[in-house]
Amino acid sequence: MMRPLAMSFGVALVAACGASGNAPADADEALACVNSMRGDLYAAGLAHPGTSGLLRFELVSADPAPPARNLNTWVLQINSMASGLVGAPAADATLTVTPFMPDHQHGAGAYTVEVTPLPDAGQYQLSKINTWMPGYWEITIDAQVGAVRDTVVFKFCIQA
């Protein structure tokens, strides 16, 4: 009787994370991610243009650095962009931040990322970024600044 129950629990756990037959076990997630070179290499000042090329997103700092398991806090600088050139800081942005683990098809659970504008123009503190398990995470940031809307995805391999 115990054996079928244990097997059922194991199947439910795998199904809950959305893992497929070719996905590595949780203990190996971080190593598999690093070996595949899928994530960004963290460094203070890591910057990406938005997908529309209208805004530039710079990860000024991360605590912990590099991003790690559980709750993270980032300082993000957002600037306007035109023709690939970085412009003025983007003040008064409305941000939505979504951590997501695509290999498992789940997000951060009950945590909502808190966004706080900082005194420096265009800077925002993002707190409670919950990357609660090892592996590959994508942190999508949607920004609305006046009539301008743009999106960026920071990608990190979270270590065990």
Low-confidence ranges of the chain (pLDDT < 50): 1-24
Length of the chain, in residues: 160
If one counts every other C-beta atom within 10 angstroms of the C-beta of residue 58, the result is 19
Three-class DSSP category at 28: helix
pLDDT at site 93 = 98
- C-alpha span between 86 and 77 (Å, rounded): 12
Residue 12 lies in a domain: no
The pTM for the full model equals: 0.82
Residue type, 50: G
Strand partners, 71: 130
Residue 16 lies in a domain: no
Residue 132 DSSP symbol: -
The CATH number assigned to the domain holding 88 equals 2.60.40.3340
Burial (CB count <10 Å: 0-12, 13-18, 19+), residue 33: buried
- C-alpha span between 151 and 149 (Å, rounded): 7
Q: Could you give the number of structural domains in the chain? A: 1
Residue 8 lies in a domain: no
pLDDT at site 114 = 98
Phi-psi region of 135 (alpha: psi -120 to 50; beta: other; left: phi over 0): left
What the block records as the tokens of 82 is 């035109």
What the block records as the tokens of 123 is 């800077």
What the block records as the tokens of 2 is 């115990």
Which range marks the domain in which residue 47 is found? 24-158
Residue 49 lies in a domain: yes
